[in-house]
């Protein structure tokens, strides 16, 4: 009887953790954008506090939060007229 060898693909931990984080982060962003889009047309300012007890750089999900999610939220809200987004960021060690 012949045994099949499985081929494993080596993926760096940083790349493997990103899809799981993004799967959790996108629903939050979608809800926020849905709230912004469903509001009556008036100038409003929203303040979000984003942070983690872990430092960015050493922790993958915090780095993705800082380098992708926050700029993407800023970009999308900037496209909406009459809305302003203020994000206060705080990460471990900052």
pLDDT-based confidence at 24, cuts 50/70/90? low
Q: What is residue 45's DSSP assignment? A: E
- Helix (H, G, I), strand (E, B), or coil: what is residue 10? coil
The residues near 89 (Cβ < 8 Å, ≥ 6 apart) are 50, 51, 66, 70
Region 51-80: mean pLDDT is 89
Q: Contact 64/22 with Cβ under 8 angstroms?
A: yes
Helices (runs of H) and strands (runs of E) counted in the chain: 3, 2
State residue 74's pLDDT score: 93
- pTM equals 0.52
Residue 69 DSSP symbol: I
């Amino acid at each position: 009887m012949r045994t099949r060898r499985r081929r494993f693909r080596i993926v760096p931990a940083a790349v493997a953790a990103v899809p799981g984080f993004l799967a959790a982060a996108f629903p939050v962003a979608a809800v926020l954008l849905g709230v912004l889009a469903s509001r009556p047309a008036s100038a409003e300012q929203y303040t979000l506090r984003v942070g983690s007890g872990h430092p960015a750089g050493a922790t993958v999900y915090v780095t993705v939060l800082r380098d992708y999610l926050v700029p993407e939220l800023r970009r999308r809200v900037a496209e909406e007229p009459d809305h302003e987004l203020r994000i206060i960021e705080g990460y471990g060690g900052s």
